[in-house]
């Protein structure tokens, strides 16, 4: 075995022993440590719950709201061939998802099926409806301002007399989701800070209890990193277990609400199931919680160890 490999094995062995030691410390006071982990889990699950609700609200909005459409009213002298050429040109635009041309005759037939206007057409002697091109922008994607700009650009095209965009609900939905996203970030940062402070205070108390042990290790020549390492792992384990417990709580809540949500969606003649956190989001939640615990332990050790060494 080469010398660098021995060093690596020794380094990994020291970290493994520190990790095992931190787990042993947790089992010495199971009730107190369990309460600490429970408090951490509650602090983690609240912003995760905000994210869970926001994710499902967005999914509902995407299912139950039609995409915004831009209606292009063509001039009276525009024939079908010119309208089809314009339709093909619009389809090539980057922000356009689909284009449908409704001829004046098709528009009159659709209106006649609802209002029965055959006698009115005979009285008028001609079809007064213009040809319409309905443009569906890519959504979600463009902001309401971008959609308004696209509408103005399309309204300036040849053979187009007027362009209208139903942007009212688009603006409301966009701004509501934007507010929810900022609220989620703010709440998440506050609770992340709370997790760091909770773990920092817990590790600070633990350091005070191990004051004699640290003094003996110092006399025996133990390095500062050797003394600090178990506390860092202990903070990481606190956060990690809190994240796991928070994920389990979200899973239980999702299963509990799944059937009522499906029953509610059935009353709207729709089928909707709650969206669960995927594997990546779950891993980020759990590992991120562990890292918050490490940060809290690092904060506590950086201030407390110096007082006892």
Work out the angle between the directed axes of helices 211-219 and 224-267 (0-180°, nearest 10). Answer: 140
Give me the pLDDT at residue 242, please: 92
More confident residue, 238 or 5: 238
Average pLDDT (161-188) is 76
Print the SS3 string covering the chain.
Answer: CCHHHHHHHHHHHHHHHHHHHHHHHHHHCHHHHHHHHHHHHHHHHHHHHHHHHHHHHHHHHHHHCCCCCEEEEECCCCCHHHHHHHHHHHHCCCCEEEEEEECHHHHHHHHHHHHCCHHHHHHHCCCCCCCEEEEEECCCCCCHHHHHHHHHHHHCCCCEEEEEECCHHHHHHHHHHHHHHHHHHHHHHHHHHHHHHHHHHHHHHHHHHCHHHHHHHHHCCCCHHHHHHHHHHHHHHHHHHHHHHHHHHHHHHHHHHHHHHHHHHHHCCCCCCCCCCCHHHHHHHHHHHHHHHHHHHHHHHHHHHHHHC
* pLDDT of res. 167: 58
Please give the Cα distance from 20 to 17 (Å, whole number).
5
CATH topology of domain 70-166: Alpha-Beta Plaits (3.30.70)
pLDDT at 222 over 50: yes
The tens digit of pLDDT for each residue in 1-20 reads 445 566 666 667 666 776 67
Res 264 pLDDT > 80: no
Q: Which of 62-76, 85-99, 239-253 has the lowest mean pLDDT?
A: 62-76
- Return the pLDDT at 274: 80
Q: What is the pLDDT of residue 117?
A: 59
Q: How confident is the model at residue 249 (pLDDT cuts 50, 70, 90)?
A: very high
Q: Which of 42-46, 257-261, 268-272, 300-304 has the lowest mean pLDDT?
A: 268-272
Tell me the per-residue pLDDT of 195-218, one tens digit each, with 9 for 90 and over.
999 999 888 887 777 777 766 766
Average pLDDT over residues 72-91: 86
pLDDT confidence of residue 58: 73
- Give domain limits for the chain: 11-64+173-308, 70-166
What is the arithmetic mean of pLDDT over 143-172? Answer: 77
What is the value of pTM for the model shown? 0.61
Whole-number pLDDT of residue 119: 60
Cα-based distances in Å from 103 to 130, 134, 144, 156, 258: 7, 11, 28, 20, 45
- Counting residues of the chain whose pLDDT is more than 90, the rounded percentage is 14
| Structure confidence at residue 130 (pLDDT) | 82
Provide the CA 47 distance to its chain's centre, in angstroms. 11
pLDDT, position 101: 87
| Mean per-residue pLDDT of the chain | 78
Predicted pLDDT at 1:
43
pLDDT at 283: 93
pLDDT of residue 285: 92
Find the mean pLDDT for residues 53-77: 74
């Amino acid at each position: 075995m080469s010398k660098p490999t021995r060093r690596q094995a020794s380094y990994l062995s020291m970290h493994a022993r520190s990790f095992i030691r931190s787990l042993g410390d947790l089992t010495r006071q199971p009730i107190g440590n369990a309460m600490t982990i429970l408090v951490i889990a509650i602090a983690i699950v609240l912003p995760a719950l905000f994210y869970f609700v926001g994710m499902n609200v967005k999914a509902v909005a995407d299912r139950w709201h039609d995409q915004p459409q831009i209606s292009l009213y063509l001039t009276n002298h525009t024939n079908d061939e010119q309208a089809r050429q314009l339709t093909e040109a619009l389809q090539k635009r980057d922000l356009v998802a689909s284009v449908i041309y409704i001829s004046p005759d098709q528009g009159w037939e659709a209106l006649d099926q609802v209002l029965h206007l055959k006698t009115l057409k005979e009285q008028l002697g001609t079809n007064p409806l213009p040809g319409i091109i309905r443009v569906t922008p890519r959504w979600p994607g463009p902001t309401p301002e971008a959609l308004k700009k696209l509408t103005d650009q399309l309204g300036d095209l040849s053979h187009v007399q007027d362009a209208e965009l139903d942007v009212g609900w688009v603006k409301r939905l966009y701004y509501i989701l934007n507010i929810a996203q900022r609220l989620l970030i703010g709440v998440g940062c506050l609770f992340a800070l709370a997790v760091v402070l909770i773990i920092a205070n817990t590790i600070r108390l633990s350091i005070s209890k191990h004051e004699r042990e640290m003094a003996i290790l110092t006399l025996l020549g133990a390095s500062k990193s050797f003394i600090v390492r178990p506390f860092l792992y202990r903070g990481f384990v606190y956060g990690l277990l809190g994240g796991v417990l928070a994920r389990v709580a979200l899973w239980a809540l999702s299963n509990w609400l799944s059937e009522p949500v499906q029953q509610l969606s059935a009353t709207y003649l729709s089928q909707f199931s709650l969206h669960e956190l995927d594997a990546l989001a779950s891993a980020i939640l759990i590992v991120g919680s562990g890292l918050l615990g490490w940060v809290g332990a690092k904060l506590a050790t950086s201030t407390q160890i110096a007082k006892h060494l």
